[in-house]
Amino acid sequence: MTQPLATLSGATDQYRAEFATLGPSFARTGDGAACLRRRTSLVDTLVTSVWSLLGGTARPIALVATGGYGRRELFPYSDIDLLFLCADTRVEASSRELIRSMNQALWDAGLRASTVTRNVRECDRFTPENYEFTLSLLSNDEVLAVNQNSANNRQLFSTNNAVAWVADVPGSSDTYIALFNTAPAPAARGSGGPATNPPPANPGATKPRDISVSLAEIGVARSAKVRDLWNHRDLGTVTDKLTRTINSHGAGLYLIQPQN
């Protein structure tokens, strides 16, 4: 990727000039994969240049390429799927004008920008329409093990939108725990536009919440090691209870290993 350019007009002009060479290059070489990679690289340069020129690099916001752009398989006239990932809701609220300006600049350059804005806490929520996330679950060997090698699956409790299910790990004293926050998800948003879903009657119900499971309830005397199966991450040792913060309409899946 080349260095970011010095002006918005310079970034736009260079992108358009380089984009115009893609067709002749493909006609000459017949290398479609190289064409896709080249267009992705051109968009990278334009996006990073515009973001820097608008002052975005000074904000705690990550630009995340998704879809074909994220896979570096960007067809010549494909949309540019881009996620503005903000550190928290405060940053998200204060950056709306910046993000609006970024979207406008990309469209002015001739890109069909398809953007969404989220904060970090929103990004572990399960959405049924998120097929890429579903595919990641289907290829997660630790999650598959729960489905293929568990016993005595049972609901532990369901209270005020907090739900816990547990299952035994055959041949061991370990236990699987699944935690669910069944409260409705916040209204979906695009790049600062109006919500596409009506607000809930109780807006507070959409907030993340702590869900706890007593280790004694699952037959663990005092302490246990915990592993986050979805994220392949060891969470250390807990004593007396497991407590995790679960986003509304979200879930977590954990392996509990008793310690002597």
The per-residue pLDDT for 234 is 93
Residue 28 has, within 13 A of its CA and on its CB side, a CA count of 7
Per-residue confidence (pLDDT) for residue 193, from 0 to 100: 39
d(C-alpha 180, C-alpha 164), whole Å: 6
The secondary structure of residue 196, as a DSSP letter, is S
Rounded CA-CA distance 20/27 in Å is: 12
Answer whether residue 226 is part of any domain: yes
Q: Are residues 101 and 177 in the same domain?
A: no
Same domain, 131 and 215: yes
Q: What angle do CA 34, 38, 39 make, to 5 degrees?
A: 120
Q: Which pLDDT value is given to residue 232?
A: 85
Tokens 């970024």 found at: 102
Together in a domain, 247 and 135: yes
Tell which residue, 247, 100, 140, 127, has the closest CA to residue 188. 127
Assess whether 183 and 244 both reside in one domain.
yes
Domain containing residue 109: CATH number: 3.30.460
The pLDDT assigned to 7 comes to: 80
What's the pLDDT score for residue 235? 93
End position of a domain, from candidates 123, 140, 171: 123
Q: Are residues 32 and 96 in the same domain?
A: yes
Q: What is the pLDDT of residue 70?
A: 83
Q: Verify that 115 and 161 share a domain, yes or no.
A: no
- Please check whether residues 134 and 249 belong to one and the same domain: yes
In 3-state terms, what secondary structure has residue 113? strand
**Tens-level pLDDT at each residue, the chain (260 residues):** 445 456 888 888 888 888 888 888 888 988 888 888 888 889 988 899 999 999 998 999 998 888 888 888 888 888 888 889 898 889 999 999 999 999 999 988 888 888 888 887 776 555 555 555 555 555 677 887 887 788 898 999 999 889 999 999 999 999 999 999 888 765 544 444 333 333 444 444 557 889 999 999 999 988 999 999 888 889 999 999 999 998 877 888 999 999 87
Residue 3 lies in a domain: no
Q: How many domains does the chain have?
A: 2
| Residue 114 sits in the same domain as residue 159 | no
Domain span including residue 56 = 8-123
DSSP SS3 for 24 = helix
What three-state secondary structure class fits 260?
coil
